[in-house]
């Protein structure tokens, strides 16, 4: 077990290091931040001064070495644009994205699971066909178009919900949370729906397939023969069994929801890390771009690592020692 852990940890470190190099060089290759940051009528002297202040006048290898050295000390650099540590800038935006992702996750499960169960129980009936047709639509629509349509229908035409922004927030334990106020909730619904729709479709299909399979299993027949109420059979025995694949997939999707909420955040002007990334790319705020991508890499490495461990814990057939052979 320990060998396996160490080995996995070493691989994870290698991945992070490789990504750091790629990301830093990639962002460096895009363009010179001075051309975006400096006022257009800045004289060459002023441009040189800015270059020097931001450390952009030094050769690439030196900039990279400084970056690596500082990163090893937990410092991912200072934002060119905000004059704050890049990591702090990202952390300030993280609660908004987490809130959005968790709400989307909640919507996907709270609506998807019952709908999937319902469809599974009534397979091949019109309700089932309607639900399955809807789910196909939900995961084939392009995300940004779907977002614009939501805005067009619910905000512009019907005027029910705000078109974008985050609304009122409340400070709880140092985090600004929006879902505790009515205004915050109203702002949250559309972007969360937009982010959730795809996952919702996935949950529906998974739980429908699971339900159909489970309903034919022996334990369901026995339960029925024993005289258990149908509600208990579905609500306890079937549900428990179909939850396993749903949890696995949702866990995997959660990481991508946090990291790639970019489209939704752009369409709904949601002040999360995705929008920060887009703004930073437009302004060539290299430290923020690099810090964001590093954070994402670490997040995925972590999720994969944890999933590996959970698999091993859940399924005795997965032998960790096998990784050594």
Partner 1 sequence: MTQTPETARRTPALRWVRGVAGLAISGVVALAAGAAQARDLRVGLSAEPTSMDPHFHNLGPNNALRRHIFESLVDTDAQMTLKPSLALSWTPRDSTTWEFKLRPGVTFSDGTPFTAQDVIYTFCRVPLVENSPSSFATFVKPFTRVEAPDPLTVVVTTDGPLPLLPTNLTALGILSAKASGASGAVTFAKGNCTGMGTPPRSTDFADPKVSVGTGPYLLREYVRGTQIVLAPNPSYWGAKAAFDKVTMKPIPSTGPRVAALLAGDVDLIESPAIQDLPRIEAAGFTVTKGLSNRIIYVHLDQFDGPDWKTPTIKGSDRNPLRDVRVREALSKAIDRKAIVERVMGGVAQAAGEVLPYPLSGTTKDFPIVPYDPKAAKDLLAQAGYPNGFEITLGTPNDRYINDEKVAQVIAQMWTRIGVKTGIDASTASTFFTRRNKFEFSAYLSGWGADSGDMSNSLNSLLLCFDPAKGLGFTNRGRYCNREVDRLTVEAMATFDEAKREGLLRQASALAMKDYPLIPLHFEVTPWATAKGLRYAPRIDQYTLVMNVELAK
Which residues in the 230-289 window bind partner 1 by CB under 8 A?
230-231, 233-235, 266-269, 271, 275-276, 278-279, 281-284
Pairing type for strands 175-177 and 170-172 reads: antiparallel
Q: What is the DSSP letter of 171?
A: E
Near partner 1 by CB under 8 A: residue from 182, 302, 313, 314: 182
Which residues in the 6-25 window bind partner 1 by CB under 8 A?
none
# residues near partner 1 by CB under 8 A: 88
- 160 Cα distance to chain centroid: 27
Q: Which is nearer to partner 1, 151 or 259 (CB)?
A: 151
Measured at the CA of 163, the angle between CA 159 and CA 165, to 5 degrees, comes to: 140
| CB contact set of 89 (below 8 Å; sequence gap of 6+) | 79, 82, 276, 288, 291
Stretch that binds partner 1, among 48-56, 65-73, 297-305, 312-320 (CB under 8 A): 48-56
Q: Which is nearer to partner 1, 49 or 303 (CB)?
A: 49
Cβ pair 89, 307 in contact under 8 A: no
Residue 149 in the binding site for partner 1 (CB under 8 A): no
Query: How far is it, in rounded angstroms, from Cα 63 to Cα 107?
Result: 45
Q: How far is the CB of 144 from partner 1 (least distance, A)?
A: 9
Residue 163 in the binding site for partner 1 (CB under 8 A): yes
Residue 93 in the binding site for partner 1 (CB under 8 A): yes
Q: How far is the CB of 68 from partner 1 (least distance, A)?
A: 21
Q: Which is nearer to partner 1, 83 or 324 (CB)?
A: 83
Residue 121 in the binding site for partner 1 (CB under 8 A): yes
């Amino acid at each position: 077990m320990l060998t396996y852990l160490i080995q996995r940890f070493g691989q994870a470190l290698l991945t992070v290091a490789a990504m750091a190099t790629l990301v830093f060089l990639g962002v460096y290759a895009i363009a010179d931040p001075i051309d975006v940051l400096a006022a257009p009528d800045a004289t060459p002297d002023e441009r040189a001064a800015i270059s020097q202040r931001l450390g952009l006048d030094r050769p690439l290898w030196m900039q990279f070495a400084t970056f690596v050295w500082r990163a090893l000390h937990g410092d991912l650099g200072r934002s060119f644009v905000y004059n704050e540590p890049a990591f702090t800038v990202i952390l300030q935006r993280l609660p908004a994205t987490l809130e959005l992702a968790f709400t989307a996750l909640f919507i996907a499960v709270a609506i998807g699971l019952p709908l999937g169960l319902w469809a599974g129980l009534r397979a091949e009936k019109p309700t089932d066909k309607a639900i399955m047709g809807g789910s196909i639509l939900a995961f084939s629509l392009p995300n940004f178009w779907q977002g614009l349509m939501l805005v067009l229908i619910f905000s512009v035409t019907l005027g029910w919900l705000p078109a974008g922004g985050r609304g009122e927030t409340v400070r709880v334990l140092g985090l600004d949370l929006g879902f505790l106020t009515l205004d915050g909730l109203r702002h949250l619904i559309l972007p969360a729906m937009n982010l959730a729709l795809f996952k919702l479709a996935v949950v529906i299909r998974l739980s429908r397939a699971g339900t159909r399979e489970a309903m034919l299993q022996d334990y369901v027949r026995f339960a029925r023969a024993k005289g258990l109420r149908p509600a208990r059979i579905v609500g306890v025995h079937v549900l428990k069994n179909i939850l396993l694949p749903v949890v696995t997939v949702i866990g995997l999707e959660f990481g991508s929801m946090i990291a790639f909420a970019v489209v939704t955040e752009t369409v709904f002007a949601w002040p999360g890390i995705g929008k920060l990334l887009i703004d930073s790319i437009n302004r060539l705020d290299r430290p923020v771009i690099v810090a964001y991508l590093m954070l994402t890499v670490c997040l995925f490495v972590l999720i994969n690592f944890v999933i590996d461990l959970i698999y091993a814990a859940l399924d005795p057939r997965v032998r960790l020692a096998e990784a050594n052979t």
